Structure 1
C-alpha cells in the first residue's frame, strides 16, 4: 500500500506516547496528576496502534504469507525474548528467567500481532458486522477464564483483536472522516471528559487497560463484562479523538514514523535502565516536560539510520539498509584521477 503521511505521523505520535508512558509509569503512585496522564494515554495508545496495524493487514493466510509473518514477527520475538532475559539478568532482576512463551514486558505485541493476522484469515470471510460482534464477544468472554492470561499473550490477543479487525474493515475515507471540524471539536470534549473521569476516580485499576488479567484478578468476577464493555467504548472514542488531530501532510518528522518497530523493540533497554538506577525524579511540571523531551530523543535515536544499520539483522533478518548505504557511497565516490585525463 502506498505510504500516506497521515499514517506515518500517527504511528510516530503513538510510539512517542508508548515511550513516554513507560517513562512516567514509576511516578504514578506518588502523583495523582501523573497517574491521570498515564491512564489517559493508556486508554488509547495501544488500541490506536493496533487499529493502524489492522488497517494495513492483508490476511492472505497462504503458506508464503504465514512464513513471512513468522520471519517478521516471531523470529524477532524469540531473539528479543533472549536479549531481554540476558539484560534483566545483568540488571539483577529476580524474574529474568521466564518461559519462552511468557513475553517479557512489551514483547507481547509481536506474538499477538502474529496471532491477529492468523485470526484475520477466518474473520474476514464473515460479514463485517458479524465478525466484529464475534470478536468483541470473545474479548468479553475470555475475562472469565483465569487460565487465559499473559502466557502466549492470549488474553491481550483476544481482548485487543476487535481494534485490529475494525482497522482491517475500515477504509482511508472512513479514517479521514475524523478530520472534519465537527469530529475534531467533539474529540476535544471526549478527551477532556475522560481525563476528568480518571482524575476523579484515581483508584481505577490500570489492569483493565493492559488487558492481561482475568475479571477475578481485576476484582470484578461477576460484572467484569460490563467494565470491559465500558473500556472498549472509552478506548474506541479516545482512539478516534486522538487520530482526529494527527497532521495529514509531510513534515520533518514524518519519516521517523516508518521505523516504529525499531523504537518499540529497543526502547525497553533505556526504560529498564532508567527504572533500575532511579536516574530521574519528577517534582514538578518541568520534570515531566523533561521526560517528554527524553522520550522524544529516544524515539529519534532509535529511528536513526545508524541504529537501523546495526539492528536490522536481528529485527528484520536482513541487511538491506547497510547494502543500500554501501551502494550509494560507492556511486558517489569520485572517479580516479587518471580516468579524467
Structure 2
C-alpha cells in the first residue's frame, strides 16, 4: 500500500515541534520563547498520540500482546539503561531519581503499550461514551496523589482520550477538516492562542505535561476544572493543526516515516546541550539559530545510516 503523505507530513511537523520544544525549554526567561514553549505543548503530544491511535489495531490475543511488548517494552528497557548511563557520563543532575520513572521521553513507549491494552475493553464501548469515560478518568486521576511519573501512569491516563479519539476517527472525518472555512478557523484558533499566551504568560506548563497530581500543582480543589479546560484547549489546537497539515507529497515527506528514531535519539543531543550550557539566547537571531539547530537535529537523526545503526535496538531487527 502506498503511504499517505498527509500522515507523514503530520508526523514530521510534530517531531520538529517536539525537538524545538525540548531545545527551548531552558530559555523561557525570554517571553517569546516562553509563549512558544507553552503554545507548542498545547498540541504537539496530543497530535502525536492521536496519530498513534488512528493507526492502532489493539491487542486481542496473547500473540498480539507479546508482539506489542517486543516492539515497545524491550526498546523502552534498552533505552532506559542507555540514557541512565549517558546521563551519568555527562554529569546530568538527578540522573537516577527512580528506576520506575522513565528517562527523558521514554514515557511515550510505556504509555503507548498501555493504550493498546486499554483498547481491549474500550473497543467494546460506544465511541462517544468511551471517549467521555476516558476523559473522566483523566480528570479523576489528578486527585490521586499516589499516581504520578512512576511508570508513566498519570500520563497514560491523562492522554488516553486523544489516543482513543484517534482510534475511532475515520479518514473521511479527517478529510472534512480540509474544508476552507474550517482551515480559516484553524488559523484563527492557532493565532489567537499564541497571542493570548504571549499577553497572559501565567499558564503553568505542568498542566500540559499530564505527569503530576493536582496537589503537586497547587490546585487540589479546582484541578479537575483546570484540566477540563486544558482538554478543550488541546483538542481545539490538535484539530486546528490537523486541518492545516498539507496532504501533498514533498521531497522531505519521507522523513515523516522515521520520527520514532528522532524521538528516541534526540535526547542525547538536547541533554548534552543543556548540561554544557552551549547556547546563550538573547535576541531574535538567537531564536532563529535555535530553529536551525532543530532542523539540523531532525535531519541528522533521520538519515539512513542513522537508522541502520540504531535499528537493532529500536526495531529489534538486523540492519
Contact 2:59/2:68 (8 A) holds in 1: no
Question: Following TM superposition, by how much is the alpha carbon of 1:94 offset from its aligned partner in structure 2, in angstroms?
Answer: 3.6
Match of 1:272 in 2: 271
Secondary structure of 2:45's aligned partner: helix
Name whichever of 31-40 and 196-205 sits farther off.
Answer: 196-205
CA distance 1:142–1:2, change in 2 (3 Å): farther
Contact 1:78/1:100 (8 A) holds in 2: no
Contact 2:91/2:275 (8 A) holds in 1: no
The alignment status of 1:154 with 2:160, answered yes or no, reads no
* TM-score scaled by length of structure 2: 0.98
Question: Following TM superposition, by how much is the alpha carbon of 1:305 offset from its aligned partner in structure 2, in angstroms?
Answer: 0.5
Match of 1:23 in 2: 23
Cα distance between partner residues in 2 of 1:98 and 1:124: 36
Secondary structure of 2:142's aligned partner: helix
Match of 1:109 in 2: 108
Match of 1:334 in 2: none
Contact 1:8/1:257 (8 A) holds in 2: yes
Root-mean-square deviation (CA, aligned residues, Å) is: 1.1
Contact 2:47/2:238 (8 A) holds in 1: yes
Gaps of 5+ in 1: 323-341
The alignment status of 1:9 with 2:9, answered yes or no, reads yes
Match of 1:318 in 2: 317
Gaps of 5+ in 2: none
Question: Following TM superposition, by how much is the alpha carbon of 1:300 offset from its aligned partner in structure 2, in angstroms?
Answer: 1.2
Cα distance between partner residues in 1 of 2:3 and 2:133: 31
User: What does the per-residue CA deviation read over 1:251-271, in whole Å, with 9 as the maximum and x for residues that have no partner?
Assistant: 101110001110000000000
Question: Following TM superposition, by how much is the alpha carbon of 1:140 offset from its aligned partner in structure 2, in angstroms?
Answer: 0.3
Contact 1:116/1:164 (8 A) holds in 2: yes
Contact 1:191/1:238 (8 A) holds in 2: yes
Question: Following TM superposition, by how much is the alpha carbon of 1:204 offset from its aligned partner in structure 2, in angstroms?
Answer: 1.3
Spell out structure 1 runs of 4+ moving beyond 3 A: none
Match of 1:284 in 2: 283
User: What does the per-residue CA deviation read over 1:62-102, in whole Å, with 9 as the maximum and x for residues that have no partner?
Assistant: 11111111111100100000001001100112422244331
Tell me the number of residue pairs that the alignment of Structure 1 and Structure 2 aligns. Answer: 319
User: What does the per-residue CA deviation read over 1:98-151, in whole Å, with 9 as the maximum and x for residues that have no partner?
Assistant: 443310121110100000000011101111111111100000000001111000
Secondary structure of 2:317's aligned partner: coil
The alignment status of 1:141 with 2:143, answered yes or no, reads no
Secondary structure of 1:39's aligned partner: helix
Match of 1:225 in 2: 224
Larger Rg belongs to:
1
User: What does the per-residue CA deviation read over 1:1-33, in whole Å, with 9 as the maximum and x for residues that have no partner?
Assistant: 7520000000000001000110111100x2111
Match of 1:122 in 2: 121
Secondary structure of 2:88's aligned partner: helix
Cα distance between partner residues in 1 of 2:264 and 2:305: 16
Secondary structure of 2:201's aligned partner: coil
